[in-house]
Structure 1
């Protein structure tokens, strides 16, 4: 399976400008997975999503005064948490003009506009000079990229030698059963993804683009309950979603959220690497 992907950036922007906006209102500003230590961990979803962001911050290990690129920044909350936790400057990029405006507003409200900026940009063709960032991360954005290989090549270009890269991403874990394939295909259709990557593909593509010291962790078990919790939350705004997407699509979305949470082939990785 290739890292080359579709759909087009406009499709991804349309998803987050539509249904994604409704999900933001009920899920909160961290529209990403949560992280729990084990089955006995009763941490709230709010704290669990912060915990995943903190894992990214720890993996990135940015130096004081550094400049960090947020690839697929969404509405900017993880970037602002990074800026608040470390003495760094962040530039976030997204293909959604709506998300750019929302991220800029959040930065202004937090008094961090001087250290966190956001702009419309294609991650496969970044408008930045070579070696212009001390590090970069992609938090649940790589699965949407039309060509993940190009994104990693661009990341290698704009990160200075010795700079770090951190990625958290939904992946495919094999071997995939027929039942698992149904769930994975539905994830791709619903969330505007052509196919999901694998741990081996990431390792190979990172190496091919000049990244070394690659460390990849399968944290699927730590994040899997997110889907079931999100399904419960989405039930509370069913009417709003039905008005946008129709009853059949919303029912299918909720059902597959629950199925995906229990599907072992629906995996999740956290990785770090260093630009050679």
Structure 2
């Protein structure tokens, strides 16, 4: 199945923002659980993943950070609360941009947080205008990860840093290709994954130097189970929007991903040479 275009993805987020709020909450990304006995809430686990990625970075007061795929602004608000930095968030969903702006105002952070409608494939920013590019669970939506990474390199100042949280293809007993085929079949083209070595090679080819790489697959996997449980509980609200067939397909996808050993998750950082 053909991967959705950026415009189609943006329209989807516009249409289902309220439903996504009920499914994922303020964060539109996975959570981090220490182990099976960890009973932290979905929101707290998602905040923990934000903190884990931020902890792999050096964030200095006065830094300017670009958040690619900012959602409704929760990671940006959390980062701006913890650090005296300026953040610009971009999304292809106008509805998300509006919500993120309103939330930044409510948080008293509008002087350092701004959000705008923009496509990460064609960033509307001059060269060397950011110290950090942040992409937490957004690159898998992009038609071309490599191109977005080159865009990130372009807008980074020399010595600037990149932080990525993304799905990763894990080695499985029957090999990478078989695992990739299963993930592709379950996602119907929505989710594309590559292995760690291929990802690091892509980062290097974009002109960046890999710094940190942390496999957090076992810590994020519960997100699929919890998303499935929440989604199943939303049948009455969701079906009028997406129909029975799409609802059942999405629920089956969450359940398949929760059991797929080839679908992993990694936190990565890189820097632009000085």
Q: Output the TM-score relative to the length of structure 1.
A: 0.91
Task: Provide the residue aligned with 1:127 in structure 2.
Answer: 124
- C-alpha separation between the residues in 2 aligned to 1:9 and 1:120? 12
> Which is worse superposed, 76-85 or 209-218?
209-218
Task: Provide the residue aligned with 2:58 in structure 1.
Answer: 61
The 5 Å alignment of 1:16-165 reads: 16-165=13-162
- C-alpha separation between the residues in 2 aligned to 1:27 and 1:157? 32
RMSD value over aligned CA atoms?
1.8
Distance 1:274 1:180, change over 3 A: closer
Task: Provide the residue aligned with 1:230 in structure 2.
Answer: 227
> Contact 2:227/2:254 (CA < 8 Å) preserved in 1?
yes
Partner secondary structure for residue 27 of structure 2: coil
- C-alpha separation between the residues in 1 aligned to 2:245 and 2:179? 20
Task: Provide the residue aligned with 1:15 in structure 2.
Answer: 12
Distance 1:23 1:274, change over 3 A: same
Unaligned runs of 5+ in 1: none
1:166-194: per-residue Cα shift (whole Å, max 9, x none)? 100112224247587344333254xx44x
Distance 1:84 1:239, change over 3 A: same
Distance 1:180 1:272, change over 3 A: closer
Task: Provide the residue aligned with 2:186 in structure 1.
Answer: 186
Task: Provide the residue aligned with 1:196 in structure 2.
Answer: 193
Partner secondary structure for residue 35 of structure 1: coil
Partner secondary structure for residue 60 of structure 1: coil
> Contact 1:6/1:145 (CA < 8 Å) preserved in 2?
no
Partner secondary structure for residue 122 of structure 2: coil
Partner secondary structure for residue 56 of structure 2: helix
Partner secondary structure for residue 36 of structure 1: coil
Distance 1:9 1:236, change over 3 A: same
Which portions of structure 1, spanning 4 or more consecutive aligned residues, are displaced by more than 6 angstroms? none
Unaligned runs of 5+ in 2: none
Report how far residue 55 of structure 1 moved.
Answer: 1.2
